[in-house]
Amino acid sequence: MLGFVVYFSYFWDALTDIGISGLLALFLIDKGPRVRAASAALFLALFQVLFTCTGYGAWQMEHSLNGGPLGPLSWASILLLGTLAYDWLTAPNRTPAGIIRNCLAWGVALSALGWALKIECPT
């Protein structure tokens, strides 16, 4: 609701995206790490397909810095991946090296995925 109040004249901005992404992820927060990771991947894939393979991407690049009306799909994936980092930090057998290893592995994998998704949609 804060996004609606703060951005009254411009509806879609960061606070609105964060609030809606929280609502999207709410029903997944209590699920296991695999479900949350898979859901994050699905949210990202859906956003990427809509961004790349429809006219939404061109519209969004002209009208919004935060993803526009479909931006919460990508923001929800960030939120869900953040829950995995929380799991690593609160695990009973956690070690600093294990936390760093997990963060680096996920960071490299997600960066590689980002480069792969940079490929244009076939026409």
Residue 26 belongs to some domain of the structure? yes
Q: Identify the domain containing residue 49 by its residue range.
A: 2-117
State the average pLDDT over residues 79-104.
91
Write out the two tokens for 74.
């990508």
Residue 73 belongs to some domain of the structure? yes
Residue the block writes with tokens 């076939």: 122
The pLDDT of residue 121 is: 62
Residue 122 belongs to some domain of the structure? no
Residue 92 belongs to some domain of the structure? yes
Return d(Cα 72, Cα 59) in angstroms, integer: 16
Asked if the model's pLDDT at residue 3 lies above 70, the reply is: no
Residue 72 belongs to some domain of the structure? yes
Alpha-carbon distances, residue 22 vs 19, 26, 73, 114 (angstroms): 5, 6, 10, 22
Write out the two tokens for 110.
């997600």
The pLDDT of residue 69 is: 81
Q: How many domains does the chain have?
A: 1
Return d(Cα 118, Cα 123) in angstroms, integer: 15
State the average pLDDT over residues 22-34.
94
The pLDDT of residue 119 is: 66
pLDDT tens digits, one per residue of 60-82: 777 777 777 888 998 999 999 99
Prediction pTM value: 0.78
